[in-house]
């Protein structure tokens, strides 16, 4: 495990090209949080330089999971999330999937004249074809045990029978949707950062896009949740954090987890 306190733009430059299998991270969301002042340096140009380094350090077939949302300024969402996604694609990444992190509820953020905002984007960028995809199958199938009578829609709108039509039984569980409903970390005892991931979110991306012993990076590590999920899934972890207080919290959390 490598943990470093500093600006990830500088620290990323010290990593070898094509040395990281997977990045699971969440940058500052515009200026929604202050992060003890580290946010002062956050701007689009800084993001562009960091994304360039992420492309450089990602192995061929490696993946970057970029979890992000927009602030609302003068009545409009900033569109930062979309601008960032387009920049990643311009650098050479494929946008493998646009996933949604749905929260059960979010409180009254955004004003009462809007629908309650309950999601964040989870952009899945890959450097070429992803080399690891372990799609989680945990969606209970209502018709489990019945014979499959599936059909596939054609470009002209008509349907054709799928290959297994009438031959296979429907399994107990099917592929999960790309909208994941996971509750944010609520318990104050476990919360140690203003924008902490729930561990399940990091865990499920790690098992989806990497293998045991792969190298997983979080350049905006915060309280180190991606690192905790790496310890629980036997991945090598590299974590960077600019703020000294959060860095210390992450280090302590990861040490406690290692000791057990």
Ligand X SMILES: C[S@@+](CC[C@H](N)C(=O)[O-])C[C@H]1O[C@@H](n2cnc3c(N)ncnc32)[C@H](O)[C@@H]1O
Q: Interface residues with ligand X (CB under 6 A)?
A: 7-9, 26, 28, 35, 38, 42, 193, 195-197, 219-220, 222-223, 225, 240-243, 246
Q: How far is the CB of 144 from ligand X (least distance, A)?
A: 36
Report which of 8, 125, 9 is spatially closest to residue 67, judged by C-alpha positions.
125
- The residue number with the shortest CB distance to ligand X is 222
Given a contact cutoff of 8 angstroms between Cβ atoms, the answer to whether 237 and 230 are in contact is yes
In Å, what is the CA distance from 38 to each residue of 45, 49, 52, 70, 241?
15, 17, 20, 18, 10
Using the minimum distance from each CB to ligand X, give the nearer residue, 225 or 251. 225
Using the minimum distance from each CB to ligand X, give the nearer residue, 125 or 247. 247
Helix H or strand E segment including 215: strand 215-218
Q: How far is the CB of 10 from ligand X (least distance, A)?
A: 8
Given a contact cutoff of 8 angstroms between Cβ atoms, the answer to whether 146 and 169 are in contact is yes
200-201-205 Cα angle (round to 5): 110
Q: How far is the CB of 16 from ligand X (least distance, A)?
A: 19
**Nearest-angstrom CA–CA distance, 157 and 145:** 29
Other C-beta atoms closer than 10 Å to the C-beta of 61 total 16
**Nearest-angstrom CA–CA distance, 63 and 20:** 9
Using the minimum distance from each CB to ligand X, give the nearer residue, 139 or 248. 248
**Nearest-angstrom CA–CA distance, 201 and 99:** 12
Using the minimum distance from each CB to ligand X, give the nearer residue, 131 or 192. 192
Q: What is the DSSP letter of 196?
A: P
Using the minimum distance from each CB to ligand X, give the nearer residue, 161 or 190. 190
Using the minimum distance from each CB to ligand X, give the nearer residue, 101 or 246. 246
Q: How far is the CB of 226 from ligand X (least distance, A)?
A: 6
**Nearest-angstrom CA–CA distance, 51 and 81:** 13
């Amino acid at each position: 495990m490598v943990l470093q306190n500093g600006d990830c733009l500088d620290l990323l430059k010290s990593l070898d090209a094509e040395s990281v299998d997977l990045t699971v991270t969440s940058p500052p969301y515009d200026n929604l949080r202050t992060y003890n002042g580290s946010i002062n340096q956050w701007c689009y140009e800084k993001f562009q330089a960091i994304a360039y380094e992420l492309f450089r350090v990602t192995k061929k077939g490696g993946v970057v999971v970029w979890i992000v949302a927009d602030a609302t300024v003068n009545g409009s969402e900033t569109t930062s999330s979309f601008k960032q996604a387009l920049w990643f694609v311009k650098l050479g990444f494929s946008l493998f999937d646009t996933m949604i992190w749905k929260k059960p509820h979010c409180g009254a953020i955004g004003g009462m004249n809007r629908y309650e905002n309950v999601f964040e984007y989870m952009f899945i960028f890959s450097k070429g074809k992803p080399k690891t995809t372990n799609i989680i199958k945990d969606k209970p199938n209502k018709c489990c045990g019945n014979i499959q009578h599936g059909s596939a829609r054609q470009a002209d709108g008509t349907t054709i029978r799928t290959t297994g039509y009438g031959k296979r039984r429907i399994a107990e569980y099917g592929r999960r949707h790309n909208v994941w409903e996971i509750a944010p970390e609520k318990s104050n005892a476990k919360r140690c950062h203003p924008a902490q991931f729930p561990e399940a979110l990091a865990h499920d991306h790690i098992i989806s896009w990497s293998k045991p012993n792969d190298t997983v990076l979080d350049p905006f590590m915060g309280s180190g949740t991606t690192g905790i999920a790496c310890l629980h899934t036997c991945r090598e972890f590299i974590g960077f954090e600019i703020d000294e207080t959060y860095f210390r919290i992450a280090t302590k959390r990861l040490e406690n987890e290692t000791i057990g």
